[in-house]
Amino acid sequence: MIQLRSDCLEFEMSTGETIPCSAETVAIELIGKAVESLDPEIVRHAAAAVLHYFKEELGRKHVTINEFSAALEKVLKRMGLAVGSEESDEDFPSVVQADLGRLAFESGKGYELIFFSRLKQELDEKLGESPQILHFKGLRGCVKQLIGARRWSGRCQQLNDQIVNYLRAGFERGKPGDSCALLVE
């Protein structure tokens, strides 16, 4: 049996035919002409999130186009983008941002010990604003700054995963309900 690339799923078409394809390619096809008005990086991240959801969280390698389309639409809407066939009069979701690079800089010579303390304070403060999307940006630069690395290494990846896991745990503990999402990039 041929193994799929890590960025691919098997998509079941409406005809019943199954085609292995990259999630990003399918996302671009589903979005259609509207993709020209979107940031390609956002589409790439949204497709990667949906791919991760199906492969890692649900343990699936085979999905229908409708399942993938619905999940992608949900992710893009949570990111504040108007997608889908039906028009909605709802306001854009409230997005609260936090800069991980700033937190790393403010941690000074205390590095990780002070950083995680500041991260907890920032997370609690931002969750107190009851956002629909809590966006932590600058993860890669933050990790490299804390470690003092110029290039990405295994140690960087470990700290990256540690920060993401810490944010997820704190988010689950303090989130104001199911209408709030966490985005870390």
Q: Residue 103's pLDDT is what? A: 92
Query: What mean pLDDT do residues 98-122 have?
Result: 86
Between 113 and 167, where is the model more confident?
167
Q: Which of 105, 97, 158, 95 is nearest to 122 (CA)?
A: 97
The CA-CA-CA angle for residues 43, 96, 92, to 5°, reads: 60
88 pLDDT band, cuts 50/70/90, is very low
Contact between 127 and 173 (Cβ < 8 Å): no
Residue the block writes with tokens 């066939």: 85
Residue 109, pLDDT > 70, answer no
The domains of the chain are located at: 8-78, 95-184
Please report, to the nearest 10 degrees, the dihedral formed by the alpha carbons of residues 77, 133, 103, 51 taken in order: -50
Residue 91, pLDDT > 60, answer no
Query: What mean pLDDT do residues 30-55 have?
Result: 75
Query: What mean pLDDT do residues 122-129 have?
Result: 90
Model confidence pTM above 0.85: no
Residue 54, pLDDT > 60, answer yes
